[in-house]
Amino acid sequence: MKRPLLWIGLLLACLLGAATYYAWSKAIPYDEVVDRGPSPEALANPYLAAEHFLRQQGLAVEHANSLERLATLPAKDNSLLLLGERSNMSPRQVEQLLGWARSGGHLLLVAEALWDEETGKSGDLLLDRLHIHQTLSEEPEQLAPSSKKPRTKKAPDLTKLYVDNETAPAYFSFDTDFNLIDPKHLAQFSANSARSSHLMQLDLGEGSVTVITDSDLWKTLNIGKHDNAWLLWYLNQGTAVTLLFNSDFDDLFTLLMRYFPQALVALIALVALALWQAGMRQGPIRPPASSARRQLQEHLKASADFLLRRSGQGTLLHALQRDVLRAARRRHPGFERLDNTEQWRVLEHLTHQPSHVISQALGPLPAKRLSSADFSRQVACLQTLRNAL
């Protein structure tokens, strides 16, 4: 019984080995490159390839995030490339940049706004100070409708720059939708396409300023095309280069509102609840006093205190005097028709109180406020008369 099982196991092992050898002999090794996209460093810096290229040419390159770097950047033998958005640049910063260029620095900037003929300015403070205008390029003439020429693929309109001692021009892929105009003829040289001008360089004091229509030709995707990389080196040769392209950061609140509005609302609600909790009284709340325990004397005292605060001493004293006279009329008919002297004599007889007590109680009240002792004494006299009646 055991020998057939052994032969079966050997047969299966042979078949498995033969199949493995066949598969291995037919397998062809190959290399596969997996494109995982740009690195985080390249995503954060669109001019990373440009920086590496300039370093390969022997130039010192650094990256700045704000114009504060200008305070410690020497002007001589240095180039500052403003490649970022600068709509919030103040007039003081514009003067600071132009002063740096006049001292011997090379300033390169991207024209940001179009020239407005009606207002006589573009809104780009730095560009307006240089008297360079940016406009839209003129549309090329269209072929006539009767033309029978077959349509061909349109060649790119490249920008040309002729350099001394070179027979052929250099070509660059500037955006041809924009055009630079030099109305005062201040530019020393320019680079032009078939439709417009895209680069102008001006002398400014001991330094120079280069104006371009766009800087996309130096970003990672385009710097290897045509002579784009060469132009970057040519404009900055012999200098240390500082690139500034993210000078306008959004503040924390703006970023939170843009990306985390729900979290920001929850945080504000949490802070409000915390402040409300902190403002609450500590300890148990005292329960209101039961109305059953209050007695008539407490109500009368509270009412008297209220009247004293609201109406003053005179009102209370006049009310007591009227009570005394009302009680005297009940005890002695015709009391109201007697004069004051007769009334006081009748009260002296009815109450058995001396005349000076009666005159003090029923006499005219003083105009000024009584002291607490005098007021208590006056009230006591009136209450004594009223109780005696």
> What confidence score (pLDDT) does residue 258 get?
74
pLDDT bracket for residue 282 (50, 70, 90): low
Q: What's the token pair of residue 356?
A: 């000076």
Residue 30's pLDDT band (boundaries 50, 70, 90)? confident
Please write the tens of the pLDDT for every residue from 147-179.
444 555 556 789 999 888 778 899 999 998 999
Which of 28-37, 200-209, 379-388 is the most confident on average? 200-209
Position 274 pLDDT exceeds 50: yes
Structure-token pair, residue 113: 């706004």
Flag the least confident range among 134-143, 210-219, 322-331: 134-143
- 54 with 233: CB under 8 angstroms? yes
Q: What is the per-residue DSSP string for 200-255? A: EEEEETTEEEEEES--GGGSTTTTTSTTHHHHHHHHHTTSEEEEE----PPPHHHH
The Cα–Cα gap between 220 and 106 comes to: 23
Q: Is the pLDDT of residue 146 over 80?
A: no
Average pLDDT over residues 93-109: 93
CA angle 280, 283, 288 (to 5 degrees): 90
DSSP string, 66-83: SGGGGGG--STTEEEEE-
Whether 296 has a pLDDT exceeding 80, the answer reads no
Is 299's pLDDT higher than 60? Answer: yes
In the block, residue with structure tokens 């005890």: 331
Which position has the higher pLDDT, 228 or 5? 228
Which token pair is 198? 């895209």
Predicted confidence (pLDDT) at residue 248 exceeds the cutoff of 80: no
How high is the pLDDT of residue 148? 44
Return the percentage of the chain with pLDDT > 90, whole number. Answer: 28
pLDDT of residue 255 exceeding 70, the answer is no
CA distance 277 to 257: 26
> Given this model, what pLDDT does residue 104 score?
93
Amino acid at 215: S
| Beta strand 178-181 pairing with 240-244 | unpaired
Question: CA–CA separation, 219 vs 49, rounded Å?
Answer: 7
| Mean pLDDT (whole number) for 116-123 | 88
**In the prediction, which pLDDT does 264 show?**
83
Buried b (16+ CB within 10 A) or exposed e, 46-69: bbbbbbebbeeeebebebbeebee
Q: Between β-strands 197-204 and 106-110, what pairing exists: parallel, antiparallel or unpaired?
A: unpaired
CATH topology of domain 40-138+156-244: Rossmann fold (3.40.50)
Per the structure block, which two tokens stand in for 119?
A: 């207002």
**How high is the pLDDT of residue 280?**
67
pLDDT on residue 234? 94
* Separation between Cα atoms, residue 362 and residue 324, nearest integer Å: 9
Cα 239 vs. chain centroid, distance in angstroms?
A: 38
User: For residue 145, what pLDDT is reported?
Assistant: 45
Q: Is the pLDDT of residue 99 over 50?
A: yes
Residues 6+ apart with CB under 8 A from 22: none
- The yes-or-no verdict on residue 261 having pLDDT over 50 is yes
Say how many C-beta atoms besides its own lie within 10 A of residue 97's C-beta. 23
Please provide the average confidence, as pLDDT, over all residues in the chain.
82
* Phi-psi map region of 81: left, alpha, beta (phi>0 left; psi -120 to 50 alpha): beta
CA distances from 324 to 300, 328, 365 (A): 19, 6, 15
Alpha-helix residue ranges (DSSP H) falling in 332-371: 340-351, 355-362
pLDDT of 193 higher than 60: yes
Higher pLDDT among residues 76 and 322, named by residue: 76
Q: Domain segments of the chain: what residues?
A: 40-138+156-244, 297-388
Angle at Cα 160 formed by Cα 155 and Cα 166, nearest 5°? Answer: 125
Are 320 and 382 in contact, with CB atoms under 8 Å apart?
A: yes
